[in-house]
Amino acid sequence: MEITEKLAREFNIRVSQVEATVELIDEGNTIPFIARYRKEVTGNLTDVVLRDLDERLTYLRNLEKRKEEVIKAVEEQGKLTDELKAEIEKAEVLQRVEDLYKPFKQKKATRASKAKEKGLEPLSLVIWAQELEEGDPAALGEAYISEEKGVKDAAEALAGALDIIAERISDDPEITAAVREKTYASAVLETEAADPEEKTVYDMYYGHAEAVAKIPNHRILAINRGEKEKKLKVKLNAPIEEITEGLIAGSVITNEKSIFTQMLHETIADAYKRLIAPSIEREMRNLLTERAEADAVKVFAKNTEKLLMVPPVKGARIISIDPGYRTGCKVAVLNETGKLLAYCTIYPTEPKNDVAGTEATLKKLIDKYRINTIVIGNGTGSRETEEVVANYLKKTGSDISYTIVNEAGASVYSASKLATEEYPTLDVTTRGAMSLGRRLQDPLAELVKISPKSIGVGQYQHDINQTLLEGALTNVVEDCVNRVGVDLNTASPSLLSYIAGINMGIAKNIVAYREANGRFTERKQLMKVPKLGEKTFNQCAGFMRITGGENPLDSTSVHPESYGAAEAMLKKLGVSSEEISKGGIRDIEERICSAFPVAAKPKPAARAKGLAALAELAKENDKSKKANENFGKSLEKLAGELEIGVITLKDIVEEMKKPARDPREDAPPVVFRNDVKNFEDLKVDMELQGTVRNVVDFGAFVDIGVKHDGLVHISEMSKKFINHPMDVVSVGDTVKVKILSIDHEKQKVALTMKF
């Protein structure tokens, strides 16, 4: 109950919503299924909230489990007190639990443990008490001299006792927490060149210093990479005196008149330098890295989502070109469904520069296969290949357009086991060219064939926690695939494997069943697929589409469990289910309002002409508002008769209006070109239209038609302050930019969106 209440507070939702959601998760339901088909139960929580809640639930459960482990471990040592148990139980983060457990952890041999073995702990307790205000500390130490135990003199006895105190200070959970907080608030991260004479991409971090609390995430990742490559030296500079003489001494020194005061001050300095500072510095570096990685993963996830949700280009008959130099450019010709019609190699670039041969091949393919679109990958040789293609189209007056496709991950796919299984007779390069063309025809269906982190839309992808990145991006792909749905009769195993409840094994079984028995004609045939039981069917069925099947509802996102309610609704409205197959029932809301009318409230008499005039002005707005209110009430009446939830019924109605609507229709369309610009053509203040290719913490990279994308820095995105570039742009957006500066040597272009 405590976890449930905590989640309700954190997510600002009702306890009942949390309880219902946790129960659904514990039953093994997938997040896409819960988000789409259990809205009534969760109170309409979105997939984003559900995933965050699931992640937080896992953390809190792990926290409780760790508390139990720590309490048990301390209890077994016979050292558990009621106060300590209470402190552990009320801890809200794992770090606090570990701080409390630190004094009781089994350690390797330390200076303190060796001192204890020599019998010096009683002396350390006398010093710690700070009660003696007169006398010579050395005299106390003499009582602990022991040749047998290896204590040669009083100085060695005192030193050993102080080692015990130093460890006691470093193990104190309150001191540790206070030092951690102070370090984060006041420390500075300093970087310098490993070799000041060497020119590197990390020049800006030579002699750089920045507050730990304020350093941006992308700079943390850059510094980490520079340190890993041994180009940078990094250290954390904390306010040592404030921490030792202020913060720690304030907790440790209880009697300034004690004969041990000076010793304790020296011991505090030793404890901080030797034991606390190294540990806190590691913690701070890890904390910064985890923060930066979490942010980078969010950027990756958002960019990946936008890339996956780019609208498919329907009806494109494509020449797809994978550019290259020495071995030429690989060409694949695809029909509207992505079927390979032909493939060959052209040599428009160095060293052959066979422009005439390339143009002849293009003409032959365009005429023979009625090509209407050319796709060019953005890798090596892209700029030169694009120039040849653009000049040819301009010279011939063709109305064919071309576009540049991001080829990140194409080589990963083309050399993969999956690609080999799909096209065993084709070579790697031809598979790569095919993949580029299909990325235009249906980006989602093609990109699911590669590991999501190979898509590469983000920053420092190889430097961040790969498990974290893989998990987050897999969730994104899963959400996108389920949001769009899949055609059960054409979807590949890769695409099917992301559907709720389906793994790759079952996905392959679905395709094998389809190949053996012909196309699916109804969803319930899925139950005949090996290893696809009732529970899996319940999870996946609503996301599978069958066009032209026996039941028109199978072509929609209506779940089979709601077919009875949907059919009863259509019967009450006097509508045939066949209308769904003819483009949907566009006037279904009006039909519901007519079949289930709501009594109108009497209008109050106007008290003055002025009120009547105002009422006339607001009439149009009122009309729309009242229509929505009336529909809502009519829907409630209908839901009551059908014995179904209002939210579920509303989703069914929306689906009846526009069956299997593709949410990608709302995304910006693909930008096509018919000309090309040379880098030399660019001028400062030139205004251009471009496509956002990548969004990072410090800005966005925009394809403006030259070899290298231009950068719009975050400071050049809006005249108003923005927290992150994603507040303004997303991958795939078409934006208007102006050139601020051009670096011809580095082939870099700085852009602005502020007009």
CB atoms within 10 A of CB 604: 7
d(CA 452, CA 566): 37
Stretch(es) of the chain classified as CATH 3.30.420.140: 318-459+470-528
Question: What amino acid is encoded at 258 in this protein?
Answer: S
Q: Is the peptide bond before 311 cis (omega within 30 degrees of 0)?
A: no
d(CA 24, CA 535): 13
- Name the more confident of 689 and 544: 544
Taking 3-state DSSP, the helix, strand and coil percentages for the chain, each rounded to the nearest 5, stand at 55, 10, 35
Residue in this structure with the two tokens 């389809």, named with its chain if needed: 514
Contact of 222 with 202, CB cutoff 8 Å: yes
State the pLDDT confidence band at 602, using cuts at 50, 70 and 90. low
Output the pLDDT for position 677.
Answer: 66
> What does the pLDDT look like over 261-283, one tens digit per residue?
999 999 999 999 999 999 999 99
Tell the burial category of 31 from Cβ atoms under 10 Å away from its Cβ (0-12, 13-18, 19+): buried
State the pLDDT confidence band at 623, using cuts at 50, 70 and 90. low
What is the CATH code of the structural domain delimited by 318-459+470-528? 3.30.420.140
> Residue 10 pLDDT more than 50?
yes
Helix (H, G, I), strand (E, B) or coil at 442: coil
Tell the burial category of 586 from Cβ atoms under 10 Å away from its Cβ (0-12, 13-18, 19+): exposed
* CA-wise closest residue to 115 among 168, 172, 169, 162: 162
Stretch(es) of the chain classified as CATH 1.10.10.650: 2-75
**2-75, which class in CATH?**
mainly alpha
CB atoms within 10 A of CB 231: 19
d(CA 443, CA 350): 30
* CA-wise closest residue to 219 among 288, 283, 280, 286: 288
Quick one: average pLDDT of 346-375?
96
> Residue 532 pLDDT more than 70?
yes
> What does the pLDDT look like over 742-754, one tens digit per residue?
998 888 999 999 9
Average pLDDT, the chain: 92
> Residue 611 pLDDT more than 60?
no
Strand extents, DSSP E, 74-201:
188-193
Output the pLDDT for position 600.
Answer: 58
Q: Which two tokens stand for residue 708?
A: 């290298």
Q: Which two tokens stand for residue 415?
A: 């050399």
> What does the pLDDT look like over 544-593, one tens digit per residue?
999 999 999 999 999 999 999 999 999 999 988 888 888 889 899 999 99
Helix (H, G, I), strand (E, B) or coil at 207: coil
> What does the pLDDT look like over 145-201, one tens digit per residue?
999 999 999 999 999 999 999 999 999 999 999 999 999 999 999 999 999 999 999
d(CA 753, CA 747): 20
What are residue 638's phi and psi, to 5 degrees? -65, -45
Quick one: average pLDDT of 644-667?
91
Quick one: average pLDDT of 72-84?
96
d(CA 563, CA 577): 11
The H or E element that residue 22 is part of is helix 15-26
The H or E element that residue 367 is part of is helix 355-369
CATH T-level fold of 679-752: OB fold (Dihydrolipoamide Acetyltransferase, E2P) (2.40.50)
The four Cα atoms 746, 749, 750, 751 give a dihedral, to 10 degrees, of: -170
> What does the pLDDT look like over 412-465, one tens digit per residue?
899 999 899 889 999 999 999 999 999 999 999 999 999 888 887 787 888 889
Give the predicted TM-score (pTM) of the model.
0.85
Quick one: average pLDDT of 722-746?
91
State the pLDDT confidence band at 680, using cuts at 50, 70 and 90. confident
Output the pLDDT for position 383.
Answer: 84
Stretch(es) of the chain classified as CATH 2.40.50.140: 679-752
Contact of 136 with 158, CB cutoff 8 Å: no
Output the pLDDT for position 606.
Answer: 44
